[in-house]
Amino acid sequence: MGAASYKRKRSLAARAQIDRLISQQRHVLFIHYSCESFYNRDDGLSPRITSIAVKRFDNGQTLSFSIHQIGETRGITGEIPIDKYDDLELEMLNEFSAFIRSHTGYNWVHWNMRDSTYGFAAIVHRHRVLGGSPASITDEDRIDLSALLIDIYGPNYATHPRLTVLINLNGISPQAFLSGADEAIAFENGQYVTLHQSTLRKVDLLPNILQRVADGTLKTNSTWRDIYGTSIGGMVEVITSSWQFKLISAVAIIISLIRIAVWLYTLVKDSSVP
Q: What pLDDT, in 10s, does the model give residues 59-114?
A: 999 999 999 999 999 999 888 888 999 999 999 999 999 999 999 999 999 999 99
Could you tell me if 17 and 79 lie in one domain? Answer: yes
Could you tell me if 213 and 258 lie in one domain? Answer: no
> What is the reported pLDDT for 244?
56
Could you tell me if 18 and 131 lie in one domain? Answer: yes
Could you tell me if 247 and 263 lie in one domain? Answer: yes
pTM: predicted TM-score of the whole model, two decimal places:
0.83
Instruction: Kindly give, in sequence order, each residue whose CB lies less than 8 Å from that of residue 95, ignoring residues fewer than 6 positions away.
Output: 65, 70
Could you tell me if 154 and 262 lie in one domain? Answer: no
Could you tell me if 64 and 155 lie in one domain? Answer: yes
Mean pLDDT by 10 residues, the chain (274 residues): 78 96 98 88 84 97 96 89 94 98 97 93 96 96 98 95 96 92 89 94 97 96 83 54 59 80 71 56
Could you tell me if 115 and 67 lie in one domain? Answer: yes
Q: What is the 3-state secondary structure (H, E, C) of the chain?
A: CCHHHHHHHHHHHHHHHHHHHHHCHHHEEEEEEEECCCCCCCCCCCCCEEEEEEEECCCCCEEEEEHHHHHHHCCCCCCCCHHHHHHHHHHHHHHHHHHHHCCCCCEEEECCCECCCCEHHHHHHHHHHCCCCCCCCCHHHEEEHHHHHHHHHCCCCCCCCHHHHHHHHCCCCCCCCCCHHHHHHHHHCCCHHHHHHHHHHHHHHHHHHHHHHHHCCCCCCCCHHHHHCCCHHHHHHHHHHCHHHHHHHHHHHHHHHHHHHHHHHHHHHHHCCC
Could you tell me if 31 and 133 lie in one domain? Answer: yes
Range of the domain at 41: 3-226
Could you tell me if 49 and 92 lie in one domain? Answer: yes
Could you tell me if 261 and 144 lie in one domain? Answer: no
Q: CATH number of the domain that 169 lies in?
A: 3.30.420.10
> What is the reported pLDDT for 258?
85
Is residue 227 a contact partner of residue 163, using CB atoms and an 8 Å limit?
no
Q: Which of 63, 128, 59 has its CA nearest to residue 89?
A: 128
> What is the reported pLDDT for 237?
55
Could you tell me if 156 and 204 lie in one domain? Answer: yes
Could you tell me if 113 and 241 lie in one domain? Answer: no
Length reported for the chain: 274
Q: What total number of domains does the chain contain?
A: 2
Q: Count Cα neighbours of 197 within 13 Å in the Cβ-side half-sphere.
A: 11
